[in-house]
Amino acid sequence: MGDTERRVYRMSFPQFRNKHLEAALFTPQDFIRYRGFRRKLPRKWILTYQNSALSYFKRQYHPERFKYSGLLNFYITKNLGFVRISGIGSPFAVTVLEELIALGGKEFLNIGTAGGLQHEGIFLCDRALRDEGTSHHYISNSRYSYPNLGLTKRFGDSIAKQGLGYETAATWTIDAPYRETISEIERYKRQGIATVEMEASALFAVAKLRKVKIASAFVVSDVLSKEWGPKFHTFNVRRALNKLIDAGVECLR
């Protein structure tokens, strides 16, 4: 390159332009057929991430358990399915959601813990800032992805019936939890974003593409203020998460 020749490489994501409009080589349905999985499953599912939430669901609702894969067990009670997603981040969560949709799932509640940018509490998510990579392979570029409005309202009503106070707000979904920078946190606080987690924006994008319904709510487990304030194992976080599970069961039933 000569002294006067300068080329600026401007990266876009994904690298393949308009990738979200292209057909995939193989689909979740192809994978399900390959595995020979034929069991009839519920149309409605709760997705969560915490062992404590799974333990509570098992104690409270006595579901049937069966093994789906080396990393995943399904728990079913009546017309409702429950999955604890054992991995972290959007790629793993999206893979689970895709396969549940391929198995007949139509309505999903994503329930978990999140970092708090504002304060402690319970937050019903009305949009998710897309700061992860997975969603961009599913839908066109935009700042936010969105849950289903009607299911979100139903979920909010069920949360209120459990006697839980909650706020409706946006979340920030990011792939890199150890790169949540001070500058970003301060900016998103000013914009009113309430929580930070690793899955919601991608799950919303998949649900939009696959034409299924999803809603999401979080219990703040650690507060990101002038310093990090972890509260993961406090009783109030576990209790609030259990109540969200109860609200989810009521909402979907």
Q: What is the pLDDT of residue 143?
A: 94
Structural domain contains residue 10: no
* Per-residue pLDDT tens over the stretch 123-141: 999 999 999 999 999 999 9
Structural domain contains residue 175: yes
pTM (predicted TM-score): 0.92
User: Residue 100: enclosing H or E segment and its boundaries?
Assistant: helix 90-102
* Per-residue pLDDT tens over the stretch 40-87: 899 999 999 999 999 999 999 999 998 887 778 999 998 999 999 988
Q: Which two tokens stand for residue 130?
A: 């897309």
User: Residue 114: enclosing H or E segment and its boundaries?
Assistant: strand 107-116
Q: Which two tokens stand for residue 34?
A: 């390959």
The CATH code of the domain that includes 156 is 3.40.50.1580
Structure letter (DSSP) for residue 224: E
Domain count, the chain: 1
- Picking from 1-15, 119-133, 214-228, which range would have the lowest pLDDT averaged per residue? 1-15
The average confidence (pLDDT) of the chain is: 91
Dist. CA 22–CA 13, nearest whole Å: 15
User: Residue 129: enclosing H or E segment and its boundaries?
Assistant: strand 122-131
Give strand pairing partners of 84: 48
**What single-letter amino acid sits at 201?**
S
Which residue is it, tokens 């203020």?
225
Structural domain contains residue 113: yes
Structural domain contains residue 6: no
Domain that holds residue 150: 26-252
Structural domain contains residue 101: yes
Q: What is the pLDDT of residue 103?
A: 94
Dist. CA 82–CA 55, nearest whole Å: 11
Q: Which two tokens stand for residue 188?
A: 């998103």
